[in-house]
Amino acid sequence: MKRRDFVKQLGAGALVAGTVAAAGCSGQQQVEKDSTRGSAKTYHWKIVTTWPKNFPGMGTAVNKLVALIDEMSGGRLKIKVYGAGELVPAFEVFDAVSSGTAEMGHGAAYYWKGKSEAAQFFSTVPFGLTAQEMNAWLYYGGGMELWQELYQPFGLIPVAAGNTGVQMGGWFNKEINSPADLKGLKMRIPGLGGEVLRRLGGTPVNLPGGEIFTSLQSGTIDATEWVGPYNDLAFGLHKAARYYYYPGWHEPGTTLECIINQQAFAGLPGDLQAIVTNACKAINIDLLSEFTARNNTALYQLLMDHKVALRSFPENVLKELRRVADKVVAELADRDPMAEKIFTSFRTFQKQAMAWNNISERAYLNTRV
């Protein structure tokens, strides 16, 4: 009996030892697999932007994005940043990424209206969605799927990668007291807002950020909008114009985008693809938070230290801008089937969001005054 017990125990021990050995082997194989993955191919990409390199806010957000991707990928995806004009001009970013000259680009969709007018819906619409509403539409209201559909023929994948929040109305060298004061005005203003100005007798001028100050100071333009106090102070726009108007009726929540070359993206392993898209999502929230924080301090400096004349657009001006803006957007939807599809989704979501915001955000802010 003792001999049989001994043999039985010996067999059980061998089984346990074999199981442990197998587990150890499997674990070793997994370690080797993970090690191989960690030392796998390093990918080198370029990102071109419409902003001056290292420009506060938008430019530095791109730096944060590539640093985050580098960290999350363990150094397996390296991306070099090129500011506006370093590799390609600011307004050629779309073509550069589409052609594969660069794998990524950072800008705003209304800059590409020459490629597709419908693209403007994915940056901002006059009197349209706020930043919070825009993110909700893109992530949970079908907006992102429409955006991807629009860019697919160009070989591009769009991803939201920043938002300015409500912008300022702009810098003017004269007071705006009525819609008539907009006639003959040469103003740097992109997208659908620029078309609204044109309908009211002004001349919209599309300039990259790096050219705004010189154009305003020299009189090439009479007025400009850029972003808000944080970026406007960085450009020194208060040195070139006296009157600073609000609100930014033309840009109530401007989404900034990363565009990714489809072929380059498809060439990445799945985990790196997830890292790129989720890093963009993180920057989308981070940049809005930064603008909200920095604009506070910058506005105080503009008013207290530089004695800027802060003005609100008169109600009659805003009413006329709204009337013309509604017409401009509706006409765009009428002449482009894809724009109509996007517009229907956009407006439907906006109506739903307004119903909720009227008893939430708006109601609360009114009580906080």
Percent of the chain with pLDDT over 90: 89
Q: Where are the beta strands (DSSP E) in the chain?
A: 43-49, 77-82, 104-107, 156-163, 170-172, 186-188, 203-205, 223-224, 243-246, 255-261, 309-312
Q: Choose between 32 and 113: higher pLDDT.
A: 113
pLDDT for position 227: 97
The pLDDT tens digits for 231-253 are: 999 999 999 999 999 999 999 99
**Do 43-166+253-292 and 170-250+305-354 share a fold?**
yes
Return the closest-CA partner of residue 154 out of 190, 109, 123, 124: 109
User: Is residue 21 packed enough to be buried (19+ CB in 10 Å), middle (13-18) or exposed (0-12)?
Assistant: exposed
Q: Are 188 and 225 in contact (CB under 8 A)?
A: yes
Backbone angles phi, psi at 208, to 5 degrees: -70, 160
Could you tell me the pLDDT band of residue 40, with boundaries at 50, 70 and 90?
confident
Query: Per-residue pLDDT averaged across 331-341, rounded?
Result: 97
What token pair was written down for 98? 């589409």
The pLDDT tens digits for 48-64 are: 999 999 999 999 999 99
The strand pair at 186-188 and 255-261 is best described as: unpaired
CATH superfamily, with its number, for domain 43-166+253-292:
Bacterial extracellular solute-binding protein, family 7 (3.40.190.170)
pLDDT for position 369: 83
CA distance 308 to 244: 7
Q: Are 104 and 87 in contact (CB under 8 A)?
A: no
Cβ contacts of 14 within 8 Å, gap of 6 or more: none
Which SS3 state, helix, strand or coil, does residue 286 take? Answer: helix
pLDDT at position 18 over 70: no
CA distance 254 to 136: 13
Chain-wide mean pLDDT for the chain? 91
What token pair was written down for 330? 């509706």
**The CATH classification of domain 170-250+305-354, taken from the options 3.30.420.40, 3.40.190.10, 3.30.950.10, 3.40.50.720:** 3.40.190.10
pLDDT for position 80: 98
Q: Choose between 121 and 21: higher pLDDT.
A: 121
The pLDDT tens digits for 300-329 are: 999 999 999 999 999 999 999 999 999 999
Least confident of 11-25, 73-87, 95-109, 284-298: 11-25
CA distance 131 to 282: 15
Least confident of 22-26, 220-224, 249-253, 364-368: 22-26
pLDDT for position 297: 96
pLDDT for position 2: 44
What token pair was written down for 89? 């001009």
pLDDT for position 21: 40
Domain locations along the chain: 43-166+253-292, 170-250+305-354
